[in-house]
Amino acid sequence: MTTECLTNKKVLTKGNYAIAQAAILAGCQCYFGYPITPQSEIGEFMSGKMQELKRGYVSAESELAAINMTIGAVSTGVKAMTSSSSCAVALMQEGLSYATADELPVVLISVMRGGPGLGNIYPSQGDYFQATKGGGNGDYHLIVLAPSTVQECVDLTYKAFYLAQKYRNPAVLLADGLLGQMMEPVEFYDYPYPEIDTSSWALTGAKGREARIIRSYAPLADNQCVFLEKLYQKYKVIEENEVEWEEINTDDADIILVSFGSTSRNAKTAMKQLREKGIKAGLFRPVTLYPFPNKRLHELAQKTKKFVTVEVNMGQMVNDVRLAVNGACPVELVNKGVGAPPSAAEIVSKIEELL
């Protein structure tokens, strides 16, 4: 484990270490976690570095405790995070629902592995639903960012802290076992976002002001409907301002591959190979899974002939693409249940079958 590479230079590092270092550079004051493959390096890195920096670190007794410790820490106005994977992120769903109701800027690093249940420890995108639809109770959204490279693990970790604080809503970095374990050259840099002033709501002791209560039980007394409307006004603003995606060769595309995270890298190669074969293919990569780029997909649906989502799950994001496209053209699925993403050649041959 290296801790010396907290400098603004290019280093070769693992996705999990990159995330941990980015969190520290983003000003994360507390880390709480419980080990689970394939993201344990995050907690390992944090255990040493946070103590060295005299910041908060707890080896939590469970993921339930870890998410709630994170809620406690961010309620005081500091940046804090936890990290976990799939079946253990399942244990955090209660806390995530509460954190949305409390309007607290929790940051969760979710490094997906196989499921359901214990599944296996191979890469997966089987928690697209878990992250974007939520497993907690009630009406809420988490901001979900999906990196596709180790560099993006850094960029989007910064962004997760920023958006969480900006909107006072939990943000999830949805990586997978492949990104967590792979090594790539990465450039670290100073936290690029403005610091958000939390002093108007943070719990710091009621000195010279009214005492504050951060609560999810009827925050607006008997008017839960008003509270939900207010919450959803916020989501509307997020949907208007924070959608991010990457688009390659979509202008003249007859077929657009839609893929996120590490899987999108093979989809991109497949798109290029299809072009070489004379098939006008394009690539659409959502970077924010919530807010989802519905509007842009809907626009593209008016001029392309077909969408194909490429996912490592049994077909999850394909549902959101279908909703966005709203019947304007067919949306097909090329998938693999779990493991390393399908190769470019496999994707190409499956798409040729579909044409």
Partner 1 sequence: MATQVFKLPESLKGDVKYSFCPGCDHGIAVRLVAEVIDELGIRENTILSASIGCSVTTYDFINVDALEAPHGRAMAEATGIKRARPDKIVFTYQGDGDFASIGLAESMHAALRGEKLTAICINNTTYGMTGGQLGPTTLLGQVTTTSPTGRNVDYYGYPIKIAEHIALCDGTAFSARVSLDTVANIRKAKQAIKKAFEVQIKGLGFGFVEILSTCPTNWKMSPQKAHERVRNEMMAVFKPGIYKDQT
Binding to partner 1 (CB under 8 A): which residues in 55-74?
56-58, 60-62, 64-66, 68-74
Q: Which is nearer to partner 1, 68 or 309 (CB)?
A: 68
Is residue 211 close enough to count as binding partner 1 by CB under 8 A? yes
Amino acid, single-letter form, for residue 186: V
Q: Which of these segments, 144-152, 167-175, 202-210, 318-326, binds partner 1 (CB under 8 A)?
A: 202-210
Helix (H) or strand (E) holding 290: strand 288-290
Q: Which is nearer to partner 1, 83 or 316 (CB)?
A: 83
Both structure tokens of 284 = 């659409």
The pairing of strands 245-248 and 255-258 is unpaired
Is residue 92 close enough to count as binding partner 1 by CB under 8 A? no
Q: How far apart are alpha carbons 72 and 52 in whole angstroms?
A: 22
What letters, b where the CB count within 10 A reaches 16 and e where it falls short, cover 275-285? eeeebbbbbbb
Q: Which is nearer to partner 1, 201 or 245 (CB)?
A: 201
Amino acid, single-letter form, for residue 226: V
Is residue 207 close enough to count as binding partner 1 by CB under 8 A? yes
Q: How far apart are alpha carbons 148 and 258 in whole angstroms?
A: 13
In angstroms, what is the minimal distance from the CB of 76 to partner 1?
5
Cα–Cα distances (Å) from 306 to 106, 188, 269, 309, 328, in that order, read 38, 39, 18, 10, 9
116, 190, 199, 213: which one contacts partner 1 (CB under 8 A)? 213
Q: How far apart are alpha carbons 15 and 180 in whole angstroms?
A: 4
Is residue 90 close enough to count as binding partner 1 by CB under 8 A? no
Q: How far apart are alpha carbons 245 and 228 in whole angstroms?
A: 28
Both structure tokens of 79 = 């940046």
Could you give the string, one character per residue 256-295, with x where binding to partner 1 holds by CB under 8 A and - elsewhere? ----------------------------------------
Number of residues interacting with partner 1: please give it, by CB under 8 A.
Answer: 40
Binding to partner 1 (CB under 8 A): which residues in 15-34?
29-30, 32
The residues of the shown chain that bind partner 1, judged by CB under 8 A, are: 29-30, 32, 56-58, 60-62, 64-66, 68-76, 78, 80, 94-95, 98, 102, 203-208, 211-217
